[in-house]
Amino acid sequence: MAESTHFYQTFQPAHYDLFLDIDRGNKLITGQTTITGHATTATIALHQKYLKVTAVTAGDDPVPFTLDDAAEAVRLTLPQAGDVTVTLTYTAPLTDTMMGIYPSYYKLNGERKQIIGTQFETTAARQAFPGVDEPEAKATFSLALKFDEQPGETVLANMPELRVEDGVHYFDTTVKMSTYLVAFAFGDLQSKLTTTASGVQVGVFATKAHQAKELDFALDIAKRSIEFYEDFYQTPYPLPHSWQLALPDFSAGAMENWGLVTYREVYLTLDPDNTALELKQRVATVIAHELAHQWFGDLVTMKWWDDLWLNESFANMMEYVAIDAIEPDWHIWESFQTGDVPAALQRDATDGVQSVHVQVEDPAEIDALFDGAIVYAKGARMLVMVRALLGDDALRKGLKAYFEAHQYGNATGADLWAALGAASGLDVGAIMTSWLEQPGYPVVTAQVQAGHLVLTQAQFFIGAGVNADRVWQIPLNANFAAPTLMTAATLDLGDYTALRQAAGKPLRLNVGNNSHFIVAYDETLSQDLLAQVATLDAIDQLQLLQDARLLAEGGKQSYAAVVPLLKQFADTRANVVYAALYQAAVNLKKFAQPKTPAEAQLKQLFDQLSAAQVARLGWQSQAGESNDDLLIRPYALAAAVYAENPAEQAAAHAITAAVADYAELPADTRAYLLINEVKHYGSVALFDQLLAAYEATSDPSYKEDLAAALTNTPDPALIARIVTAFEDATIIKPQDLRSWFRGVLANPQGQQAAWDWLRTEWGWLEQTVGGDMEFPTYITVVARIFETPERLAEFKAFFEPKLKDQAVTREIIMDTKVIEGRVALIAADQAAVTAAVANAL
């Protein structure tokens, strides 16, 4: 690990005066930054990246300076240590990198327009202005902004605008905050505004390419989320306004800039009259996530980037806590169970995975180590585990104390554990250490041995793994008499017959699925459990399917044992159960190569798993349907499309053919209707029509569905056209490229073309998304799909020479294991699975 000192140690800024002049036409930023602060030595360093610093003064005197681009620094020699005011004059390029200050492009009435916005987390504030770009270096900021302004343009920043003078917009001074949360934006925007009960102004802003009603849903959720947090945290929202802004080009999903939260359009604007429930829920949780950060992250900030996980895990948990409170009928925790939980359990089972808490120094390391399934999903699971142990009263009491103690300052994980510990009397830190500092998670084996019920924990791997004898402190949540925590490798619970009798039901561990482990029951226990499957609640059933799938992925049992389970749950009315069933079924596809009898049989099984649901629910939602039905339908239709049931194909075609404009199709089934159309009723004309709709629409969820349909084309000439568009940002925005790439790669007819493209255009990709955490995830996409020894060999041949590149080293090592594991699993299990599928029909 690179040794690096924090610039904050030698210079502590107190206030920044930022002046920025942005010339969109010439793609040039001219800036002047004045920083008042305290220097502990005469030689100090400030961060800068791609800045051309032309002059530095202290008071009226010029200050000698040198640029150190390798350290992303400008080094100054001040007259002496002590309190000082320095002014730096500079220019910087305005580039299309979705980092720093950057343009976002969109079309309005056929004209290409742009909005300027910012994205500074983690270390891109230094591309906009020089300063100490570290989370601990909190200061106040006064922003003055000038640009080649057109009449009617809107200008937004963290704080309200004070005045405009000579074309310069002056904003009110911020509270003490970190550099990575500074933000501003301007362009031709529309907005909707409201006020919270406590008087905070809430606004939603988007380009005028959207219909005005597309802002309503977000406004309502944002307002109610802020009201919820003010109550839950017992701490007022500290700024006068909370703006939510949708940017047409956005690298991440959303960003919690204090007072000016930015979003991808798909996560903010939606047509209230035609959007799938699942996406509405997603938008709501994204907004609640960013607003949770306004306190946890913005008001109190991690001291250093090694605690970025804490920021993100906490917001990831709170997005569910908040939405569950404001939309209780959604049962939003169910989507935690069908989304985050399996993502964490899958990724965390790969040998070489990072622990949640990792030491980092260098910004490049921060990017390379940022693993969403771990930092967000596993981390949130850890906090959910803590919440379950503490209860909400102690959690809220602890949080209130934490905010009071650290507001406008910084804190570490240990500070949070201390506050929660004081509020609950539990040694939270001790329990968490085993989960946060160690990678992976345990499978707990429950066995009846010589009449005793014995539990054993061991690390669970999918693919090859090296046993490191890790032991976790496991909240067992057993329905039998058992200790709260399992702290050793084995635990003898005593006489099984007596325990079983006292409990009056089959043994269940991890009831509620809130602890991060899976369970392997022995033959006796699983027979007992399976006999009473119908009495289990939906989460228990999901867990049974999820654990069975994972145990099969890890080679602890054959997938052949999972197959008969599926049909048992096919008629469920619970979306969580059907989601888990679908996920297990999809995982069988790897055992059935395209165009083989095994595949034909698997399609038949998919038909049997979906036919009754499709018959019951139909292709179109009805008014007044339950949320469960609304959420089951997409899975059932996806299964039916794969199954190629001729009657359903024709039914979908009839609906699709009946509309004059595909935009009229109902959003909750649109993707499946269009995929069916492209796959089975496709033509060049249809392709052209869908692509034109893709380019024209400003409804981001319609765009996603169109992309999903287009990438499913079986026509090689059309696939070639898509691949050509990969590098044409006027058709496929860089922010959307990964999902297009994934779509083509997952299409058996497209895989070769997508894979060839990735290998020839790797350099281009690195340049386009290179400075971004998204870059390594292209490798993850490949690893999720490849399943043959030939592809494995090609993967290794291409990526092994790139192992030296720090940004992708870990990903390559892990993903090689992922594909190797899958190839081995197919070889070992294919015959048994094929037989089990045939048997189940």
Q: Catalytic residues, which ones?
A: 290
Q: Which of 769, 672, 671, 684 is nearest to 720 (CA)?
A: 684
Q: Of 283 and 632, which CB lies nearer to ligand BES in the complex structure? A: 283
Q: How many CA atoms lie within 13 A of 735 on its CB side?
A: 21
Q: Which of 15, 25, 23, 16 is nearest to 167 (CA)?
A: 23
CB of 654 to ligand BES, least distance (A): 38
Q: Is 589 helix (H, G, I), strand (E, B) or coil?
A: helix
- With contacts defined by CB under 6 A, name the span among 189-197, 253-261, 327-335, 793-801 that binds ligand BES: 253-261
- With contacts defined by CB under 6 A, name the span among 287-295, 411-419, 475-483, 817-825 that binds ligand BES: 287-295
Q: Of 315 and 431, which CB lies nearer to Zn ion in the complex structure? A: 315
- With contacts defined by CB under 6 A, name the span among 250-258, 625-633, 649-657, 725-733 that binds ligand BES: 250-258
CA distances from 289 to 147, 236, 390, 532 (A): 32, 17, 21, 38
Q: How many CA atoms lie within 13 A of 102 on its CB side?
A: 20
Binding-site size for Zn ion (CB under 5 A) equals 2
CB of 737 to Zn ion, least distance (A): 23
Q: How far is 214 from 698, CA to CA, in rounded Å?
A: 10
Site for Zn ion in 255-314 (CB under 5 A): 312
Task: Tell me if 249 contacts ligand BES by CB under 6 A.
Answer: no
**Partner from Zn ion, ligand BES, none binding residue 434, C-beta < 5-8 Å depending on class:** none
- With CB under 6 A as the contact rule, the residue among 254, 395, 652, 722 that binds ligand BES is 254
Q: Of 223 and 289, which CB lies nearer to ligand BES in the complex structure? A: 289
Q: Of 78 and 286, which CB lies nearer to ligand BES in the complex structure? A: 286
- With CB under 6 A as the contact rule, the residue among 290, 371, 415, 629 that binds ligand BES is 290
Question: Around Cβ 682, how many Cβ atoms within 10 Å?
Answer: 19
Binding-site size for ligand BES (CB under 6 A) equals 13
Q: Find tokens 């362009």 and name the residue.
A: 187
Q: How many CA atoms lie within 13 A of 698 on its CB side?
A: 22
**Partner from ligand BES, Zn ion, none binding residue 253, C-beta < 5-8 Å depending on class:** ligand BES
Q: Find tokens 């090609």 and name the residue.
A: 794
Q: For residue 660, which amino acid is it?
A: A
Task: Tell me if 512 contacts ligand BES by CB under 6 A.
Answer: no
CB of 839 to ligand BES, least distance (A): 42
**Partner from ligand BES, Zn ion, none binding residue 415, C-beta < 5-8 Å depending on class:** none
CB of 372 to Zn ion, least distance (A): 10
Q: Which of 445, 502, 435 is nearest to 470 (CA)?
A: 435
Can you read off the two tokens belonging to residue 602? 């698997």
Question: Helices 413-424 and 392-406, interaxial angle, to 10°?
Answer: 130
Task: Tell me if 707 contacts ligand BES by CB under 6 A.
Answer: no
Q: Of 133 and 312, which CB lies nearer to Zn ion in the complex structure? A: 312
Q: How many CA atoms lie within 13 A of 705 on its CB side?
A: 28
Q: Is 501 helix (H, G, I), strand (E, B) or coil?
A: helix
Cis status of the peptide bond prior to 275, with omega within 30 of 0:
no
CB of 823 to ligand BES, least distance (A): 30
- With CB under 6 A as the contact rule, the residue among 289, 590, 670, 742 that binds ligand BES is 289
DSSP 355: P
Q: Of 122 and 479, which CB lies nearer to ligand BES in the complex structure? A: 122
Question: Around Cβ 760, how many Cβ atoms within 10 Å?
Answer: 9
Site for ligand BES in 86-125 (CB under 6 A): 121-122
CA distances from 644 to 176, 601, 640, 681 (A): 59, 12, 6, 12
Q: Find tokens 């009723």 and name the residue.
A: 681
Cis status of the peptide bond prior to 122, with omega within 30 of 0:
yes
CB of 698 to ligand BES, least distance (A): 21
Q: Of 300 and 638, which CB lies nearer to Zn ion in the complex structure? A: 300
Can you read off the two tokens belonging to residue 635? 């899975």
- With CB under 6 A as the contact rule, the residue among 14, 67, 252, 840 that binds ligand BES is 252
- With CB under 6 A as the contact rule, the residue among 293, 381, 633, 733 that binds ligand BES is 293
CB of 309 to ligand BES, least distance (A): 10
Q: How far is 314 from 305, CA to CA, in rounded Å?
A: 15
Q: Where would I find the beta strands (DSSP E) of 603-687?
A: none
**Partner from Zn ion, ligand BES, none binding residue 252, C-beta < 5-8 Å depending on class:** ligand BES
- With CB under 6 A as the contact rule, the residue among 278, 312, 668, 815 that binds ligand BES is 312
**Partner from Zn ion, ligand BES, none binding residue 286, C-beta < 5-8 Å depending on class:** ligand BES
Q: Of 283 and 833, which CB lies nearer to ligand BES in the complex structure? A: 283
Q: Of 261 and 707, which CB lies nearer to ligand BES in the complex structure? A: 261
CB of 261 to ligand BES, least distance (A): 9
- With CB under 6 A as the contact rule, the residue among 93, 160, 238, 253 that binds ligand BES is 253
CB of 735 to Zn ion, least distance (A): 17
Can you read off the two tokens belonging to residue 474? 């496991």
**Where do the H-state alpha helices sit in 26-126?**
none
Q: How far is 693 from 697, CA to CA, in rounded Å?
A: 6
Q: Of 239 and 315, which CB lies nearer to Zn ion in the complex structure? A: 315
Q: How far is 69 from 447, CA to CA, in rounded Å?
A: 60
- With CB under 6 A as the contact rule, the residue among 156, 247, 286, 779 that binds ligand BES is 286
Q: How far is 766 from 775, CA to CA, in rounded Å?
A: 7
CB of 293 to Zn ion, least distance (A): 6
The answer to whether residues 544 and 536 touch, using CB atoms and an 8 Å cutoff, is yes
**Partner from Zn ion, ligand BES, none binding residue 749, C-beta < 5-8 Å depending on class:** none
Task: Tell me if 315 contacts Zn ion by CB under 5 A.
Answer: yes
CB of 191 to ligand BES, least distance (A): 22
Between strands 11-23 and 140-147, the pairing is parallel
Can you read off the two tokens belonging to residue 597? 């009898």
Q: Of 93 and 253, which CB lies nearer to ligand BES in the complex structure? A: 253
Rounded to 5°, the CA angle 318-323-329 comes to 145
The answer to whether residues 841 and 605 touch, using CB atoms and an 8 Å cutoff, is yes
Q: How far is 744 from 724, CA to CA, in rounded Å?
A: 12
| Dihedral pair phi/psi, residue 361, rounded to 5° | -125, -55
**Partner from Zn ion, ligand BES, none binding residue 811, C-beta < 5-8 Å depending on class:** none
Binding-site ranges for Zn ion (CB under 5 A): 312, 315
Binding-site ranges for ligand BES (CB under 6 A): 121-122, 252-256, 286, 289-290, 293, 312, 315
